Structure 1
Amino acid sequence: MPELKSGTLLGFDFGLKRVGVAVGTWELGLAHPLETISSEINTARFARIAELISQWRPVALIVGMPQYDDGAQHEFAPTCLRFANRLHGRFGLPVFWVDERYSSVAASSVLNEQGVRGRKQKPMLDQVAAQQILQQYFDESDSAHELT
């Protein structure tokens, strides 16, 4: 795995209806929710991701990979892996994946603590889940996996 200890990173929580995006820098080691791409159309999704990459100029992209509680691969994992491979192929940036177990639960908990509950969470949940994924990468980068 290449040593990436400086620069901006974008994190993604991939879903069939929405893609949460977060941003952070190695220098601070903190992830922040950025936006939720609410489109099921791949061309629209990747057009927006291209804009974000142009704007933020990340050194790498981080994708959450779903797993079951016992660590077994979730049936949605191949779809997430396909998304990660497309990111790498389209943008030529290193792409890493981390175990995203509990990222949505943690995101919901964070939003509850901030007084955002129920249906009000929907527009923010995916980007806060992406924040959890990217923060996990910062905190545990040694356990991240690079696409090969």
Structure 2
Amino acid sequence: MSKILALDYGASRIGVAVSDLRQTVAFPREPLLNNSVWEKDLDQIIQTEQITKIILGNPLNQQGKPSEQSQIVKTLRDKLERELGVTVELIDERYTTVQARRNFNLAKIPTRRQKGLIDSAAAQIMLQMYLDRNN
């Protein structure tokens, strides 16, 4: 088997999570800064981890309809597939950040420290839901 990567795309940071080889467990990675080199950093992760598929969070609204941000994410999906040669699947990311924040609060992780971790924790939740649904 191969690994799957999940991205929680945001304006300043991009949360990253990677599955194990058996595609049963998701692990958070250091988030990427959304800057001019983030795609190069992503490509390096894809090569190093031997990623064959990317799960990209689609920010639907509360009614499950595409949000304004959804079009940006769809354009990003098309670009990543074209430039990186990896299949990119959109999945519903609603409430993953809320759940990640709740988990951090239960673990008593200070809010200040959560800021740098929350995006990748949301990506981990999203990827784990995907893995559970497909295994």
Is the pair's TM-score, using the shorter chain for normalization, greater than 0.5?
Answer: yes
Deviation at 1:119, TM superposition (A): 2.0
- CA deviation string 1:17-66 (max 9, x = no partner): 1111100036251111011112332xx11010011011101111110001
Among all aligned residue pairs of Structure 1 and Structure 2, give the percentage whose two residues are the same amino acid: 28
List runs of 5+ in structure 2 lacking aligned partners.
none
The code of the aligned residue for 1:96 comes to E
Q: Distance in 2 between matches of 1:92 and 1:108?
A: 33
The code of the aligned residue for 1:49 comes to L
Partner of 2:66: 73
Count of aligned residue pairs for this structure pair: 135
- SS of 1:115's partner is coil
Deviation at 1:92, TM superposition (A): 0.8
| C-alpha RMSD of matched pairs (Å) | 1.6
- SS of 2:72's partner is helix
Tell me if the contact between 1:16 and 1:40 (Cα under 8 Å) persists in the aligned partners.
no
Tell me if the contact between 1:98 and 1:136 (Cα under 8 Å) persists in the aligned partners.
no
Match of 1:11 among 6, 23, 30: 6
Tell me if the contact between 1:21 and 1:34 (Cα under 8 Å) persists in the aligned partners.
yes
Paired residues for 1:119-130 under 5 Å: 119-130=112-123
- CA deviation string 1:107-147 (max 9, x = no partner): 111222222131210010111011011112112249xxxxx
Match of 2:22 among 24, 27, 30: 27
Partner of 1:110: 103
TM-score in terms of structure 2 length: 0.92
- SS of 1:35's partner is strand
TM-score in terms of structure 1 length: 0.84
Tell me if the contact between 1:26 and 1:138 (Cα under 8 Å) persists in the aligned partners.
no
Q: Distance in 2 between matches of 1:28 and 1:100?
A: 19
List runs of 5+ in structure 1 lacking aligned partners.
1-5, 143-148
Match of 1:132 among 119, 125, 130: 125
- SS of 1:140's partner is helix
The code of the aligned residue for 2:24 comes to G
- CA deviation string 1:80-111 (max 9, x = no partner): 11122121111111111110000110111122
Deviation at 1:68, TM superposition (A): 1.3
